[in-house]
Amino acid sequence: MPIAGKAASLIVITGLKRGERMDMRASTIFALAFVLASLLGCNREPERTGPHFGTEPSAPGVAVYRLAVHPLHNPAKLIKAYQPLVDHLNRRLPGARLVLEASRDYANFEQKYRGRGPQFLLPNPWQTLQAITVGYRVIAMAGEPADFKGIFVVRRDSLLALPADLKGKSVSYPARTALAACIMPQYFLHDRGIDVNAELENRYVGSQESAIMNAYLGLTAAGATWPPPWRSFQKEHPREAAQLKVIWETESLVNNSVMVRDDVPPRVWQPLRALLLALDGTPEGRDVLAGMETARFLPASDRDYDVVRRYVTRFEREVRPVEQQP
């Protein structure tokens, strides 16, 4: 069975859906996120499905907005990576404060924006298309387009040489809807003559790190992920990473977006957008970006994600539906 982390150093929390798990570095951090979220909750709408975290109390009369980031990491790691960004913005936003919101898995995150919960989103490109249909709009791109690609990691002692060698073997992915870490790798294999639905055992294990760890422990022949989580894994688990290698990578696409809900006033989102675009211009901003494994934020709009629509249409026609069919 796939696992969601390394037993020697990671605490494992099973997901609420069959077959989904995610790893946590410390259960106390996860609990802290919930406690602080409840303390801040008096200024926000009641829907709460996932940890929230903040370090600065809001002043009376200051509107609080939720920023939900798609689960490219487990909640504890995501908070560690993105809370410095929220703190940086909160020190500079006029008359508004952000609260960071993590999600236990992709399905949980997708449920939030479909219900128009968070005012701000950082979704993957496929989720961006879905969020546009319910009233969110793109205001920036989070990272260089060239960095948005799928990669396959295998053990260094793996005998895999060609994609065809994966036939009859298992591959771990974070989730069915992970664009760079699942959809693009599966299309890569399909394009090289593999029937990914019949000739592979596809395991959706809940997080990027879980996909990598399954490959490291030999529970799958390969793990699919994308560059930022792989770079993070190399820094945080150098011993394990040294026993892995990237064997193939896909083409690049457009990177994750930053989105705003259509009822957020311009006086709030326009200064936020300006602050994001200016991050790479200061040492403090570059430190924030480094913690997120993101080079910079770029100007973007809904139209920049039309290429994703065409890609996903082709994938669904030739490979499988992105979402699980009932």
Q: 228 near 212, Cβ under 8 Å?
A: no
- Angle at CA 251, nearest 5°, toward 281 and 233? 60
User: What is the rounded distance in angstroms from the CA atom of residue 260 to the CA atom of residue 239?
Assistant: 40
Q: pLDDT tier at 31 (50, 70, 90 boundaries)?
A: very low
What global pTM score does this model have? 0.77
Q: Pick the closest to residue 184 from 147, 224, 228 (CA basis).
A: 224
Q: pLDDT tier at 20 (50, 70, 90 boundaries)?
A: very low
Q: 149-251, superfamily in CATH?
A: Periplasmic binding protein-like II (3.40.190.10)
Q: Pick the closest to residue 141 from 282, 306, 297 (CA basis).
A: 297
Region 225-247: mean pLDDT is 96
Region 228-242: mean pLDDT is 95
110 Cβ neighbours under 8 A, 6+ residues apart: 127, 130, 177
Beta bridge partners of residue 21, listed in sequence order: 14
pLDDT for 43 equals 39
Tell whether the model's pLDDT for residue 58 goes beyond 60. Answer: no
Q: Pick the closest to residue 104 from 188, 30, 185, 6 (CA basis).
A: 30
pLDDT for 106 equals 87
Q: pLDDT tier at 8 (50, 70, 90 boundaries)?
A: very low
- The answer as to CATH 3.30.70.20 being correct for domain 11-145+254-313 is no
Tell whether the model's pLDDT for residue 164 goes beyond 80. Answer: yes
> How many residues are listed for the chain in this entry?
326
pLDDT for 223 equals 98
Region 87-113: mean pLDDT is 94
Q: In the chain, which residues fall in CATH 3.40.190.10?
A: 11-145+254-313, 149-251
Q: pLDDT tier at 60 (50, 70, 90 boundaries)?
A: low
pLDDT for 72 equals 80
Phi, psi dihedral angles at 82 (to 5 degrees)? -105, -15
Average pLDDT, the chain: 85
Q: How many CB atoms lie within 10 A of CB 264?
A: 19
User: Percentage of residues in the chain with pLDDT exceeding 70?
Assistant: 81
293 Cβ neighbours under 8 A, 6+ residues apart: 81, 227, 228, 229, 231, 232
Beta bridge partners of residue 153, listed in sequence order: 223, 246
pLDDT for 59 equals 61
